[in-house]
Chains A and B, each alone.
Chain A
Amino acid sequence: MVEYEYKSGSNLEKVLCGGGFAVTAELGPPKSADFDLIKKKVELLKDWVDAVNITDNQTAIVRVSSIAAGKLILDLGLEPIIQVTCRDRNRLSIQSDILGAYLLGIRNVLCLTGDHQSCGNHPTAKHVFDIDSIQLIAMVKNMRDKKVFECGEEIKSSKKAEIKEPRMFIGAAANPFADPFEFRVIRLKKKINAGADFIQTQCIYDMDRFEKWMEQVRSKGLHEKCRILAGVTPLKSLGMAKYMRDEVAGVTVPDYYIERIAKADDPKAEGVKICVEQIQKLCQIEGVAGVHIMAIEWEEKVPEIVQKAGLRE
């Protein structure tokens, strides 16, 4: 009997490869040296998700490093998915951080391009973009499977030393709503060819467009080559719904959701209800292997959403 050999052995990998429906959430590290805030968010999410994304200076705003926060979160009993962007670090720095993160016990990494620094709080900074997200995926995969650095050297400390490679479960992002639409599936394929084991999508509101995208994904058999987690973000208020629709590049919010929030006596409860309905629909779509709940500064709602969607009791 051949036993399945895990690539990383992470909890997320075990759930996804065991055919389970994975639930992940997002945990943005604080904008200050505040351990209590990290602890509070972990307590909220711990029993409700399989793993949690730790963002890497998201929207180009300085925060606690994703690896440092990831280690703290791991120690508090929740599995981290470390986000790594190409904006702030070159290939040397990223590989060094992958080695370090692995030694700290981190086993999942999500490879991203990164928001442009003009979006954030240091718009005069110099960006790096030495490599892009697809090259990053391939680099982390080659470190794991070929046991080599990007330059081709084996991952060992000296000629006679043993090879000790970092073994990560590799994720990537996909945005079914950005343009050009026809290119979105090609780009997903490029990420899978580069070595992505799982995909988390940008938050979905336009379910029709997402279904259309999934049809294309299935027609190319991509859902069989990698696990796709559908992203959702509960709408907290009418203001947020409009902001997501008008201001966030690559996100579309259909008017019927805006109207529901606008007419609701309790917009927050309506936002949760919409999110739950979406998850229930997403579970039915062939090729969706899990959901990624990005409750932006609203982590306390994750347990309720997970419960109401019937994902956990």
Chain B
Amino acid sequence: MIVAEQKPIEEIKNYLTGHKRILVLGCGTCVTVCLAGGEKEVATLASLLRLSGNFEIEENTIERQCDAEFFGDIKDQAASCDAILSMACGVGVQMTARTFPEKPVYPALNTMFCGTNDGAGQWSENCLACGDCKLGIFGGVCPLTRCSKSLLNGPCGGSVDGRCEVDPENIECGWQLIYDRLKTLGRLDVLDENAPPRDWSRTHDGGPRKLSREDVAGL
């Protein structure tokens, strides 16, 4: 899922300065699951903003802010407000801005990464959405994401006791994970091959990416 966290309240209030009536808009998908921008978080933030006494707050949560079809029910509510505070990821914020071109739309969250839930209150980054998945080669551990230097022929000299030199306490050495996994699978031979330079044009370096699929275009 896309993992996000709420911005500091002061930053949010700064955005809202000069506006009176605000729609706090949650999203029912990823940010609900990671407890950053779902119905509950909308209610908490809305109360906090009401308490500050400066705003009239409307609140709502739609199923997905990344999809235009879910905005129909909130059109009138949005029209009655001067600004929208979106509690979605960056994708949802942009879709909201596109749906209401006349309204200022502000982000209440910082979008962090595509990641896993590692237990209560813990998430970690696992996928860079690089557009050219090589997990099949590397034993199901992504070197681009899990190695701080995105090395394809790692590990570098900074790997000690399975930890990464960048932050040994908090970051595992991705290449230790790859090595251990391939060892378990009996596929250490894979590492003898030198991986060639990556084609970054499939990633954001080729410009903002688009996907068109004719097979589903008519549905």
Closest chain B residue, CB of each to CB of A87: B149
Q: Which chain B residue shows the least CB distance to A250? A: B157
Max chain B CB contacts within 10 Å: which of A127, A150, A179, A187? A179
Does A131 touch B at the CB level, under 8 Å?
yes
Give the nearest-CB partner of A201 in chain B: B157
Report the minimum CB–CB distance from A151 to chain B (whole Å).
10
Q: Which of A14-22, A110-118, A294-302 contacts B (4 or more CB under 8 A)?
A: A110-118
Are A134 and B194 closer than 8 Å at their CB atoms? yes
**Could you tell me the distance between the alpha carbons of A180 and B167 in the complex, rounded to whole angstroms?**
18
Given contacts A119-B165, A130-B200, A189-B192, contact A178 B157 (CB under 8 A): yes
Say whether B157 contacts A138, CB under 8 Å: no
Among residues of A, the one whose C-beta sits closest to the C-beta of B149 is A129
Is there contact, CB below 8 Å, between B194 and A193? yes
Contact pattern, A 187-204, Cβ under 8 Å of B = 1, otherwise 0: 101100110000000100
Number of chain A residues close to chain B: CB under 8 A: 35
Instruction: A194 to B197: give the CA distance in the assembly, Å.
Output: 12
Q: List, in ascending order, chain B residues with CB within 8 A of A131's CB.
A: 197
A161 at the B interface (CB under 8 A): no
A202–B162 alpha-carbon span in the complex (Å): 19
The number of inter-chain residue pairs (CB within 8 angstroms) is 97
B47 contacts the other chain (Cβ, under 8 Å)?
no
Give which listed residue, A129, A133, A183, contacts B150 with CB less than 8 A. Answer: A129
Contacts of A180 in B (CB 8 A): 155, 159, 162, 176, 179-180
B153 at the binding interface (Cβ < 8 Å) = yes
**Inter-chain contacts of B179 with A (CB < 8 A):** 180, 183
A144 to chain B: which residues have CB within 8 Å?
none
Question: When A186-B192, A189-B192 are in contact, do A179 and B149 touch as well, CB less than 8 Å?
Answer: no
Of B157, B180, B194, the residue contacting A173 (CB under 8 A) is B157
- Tell me whether chain B's interface is mostly helix, strand or loop, or mixed: loop
Best-buried of A119, A127, A134, A139 by chain B (most CB within 10 Å):
A134
In Å, the complex CA distance between A173 and B156 comes to 10
Residues B165 and A249 in contact, CB atoms below 8 Å apart = yes
Q: Are A178 and B160 in contact (CB under 8 A)?
A: yes
> In whole angstroms, how far apart are the Cα atoms of A178 and B157 in the complex?
6
The docked-state distance in angstroms from the alpha carbon of A193 to that of B193 is: 9
CA distance in complex: A129, B156 (Å): 12
Of A91, A115, A132, A249, which one neighbours B154 at CB under 8 angstroms? A132
Q: Tell whether, in the assembled complex, residue A183 and residue B155 are in contact, meaning their CB atoms are under 8 Å apart.
A: yes
CA distance in complex: A250, B160 (Å): 6
Q: Indicate if B133 sits at the interface (CB-CB under 8 A).
A: no
A119 to B166, alpha carbons, bound, how many Å?
7
B187 to chain A, nearest CB (A): 13
Chain A 120-140 per-residue mask, 1 if CB under 8 angstroms from chain B, else 0: 000000010111111100110
Does B152 interact with chain A (Cβ within 8 Å)?
yes
Nearest Cβ distance between residue B200 and chain A, in whole angstroms? 7
Give the chain A neighbours of B119 by CB distance below 8 A: none
User: A residues within 8 A CB of B160?
Assistant: 178-179, 249-250
The 5 tightest CB contacts between A and B, nearest first, are: A175-B157, A249-B165, A134-B153, A249-B158, A250-B157
**Given A130-B197, A134-B153, A139-B197, 11 other A-B contacts at CB below 8 A?**
A132-B153, A138-B196, A179-B161, A179-B162, A180-B180, A183-B179, A186-B192, A193-B194, A249-B157, A249-B165, A250-B160
- Which residues in B have some Cβ–Cβ distance to A below 8 Å? 148-162, 165-168, 173, 175-176, 179-180, 188, 191-192, 194-198, 200
The 16 listed contacts between A and B (C-beta, < 8 Å) are: A91-B197, A115-B158, A116-B166, A129-B151, A130-B197, A130-B200, A132-B152, A135-B153, A135-B195, A135-B196, A138-B196, A178-B156, A180-B179, A183-B191, A187-B153, A190-B194
A interface, CB within 8 angstroms of B: 86-87, 91, 113-116, 118-119, 127, 129-135, 138-139, 150, 173, 175, 178-180, 183, 186-187, 189-190, 193-194, 202, 249-250
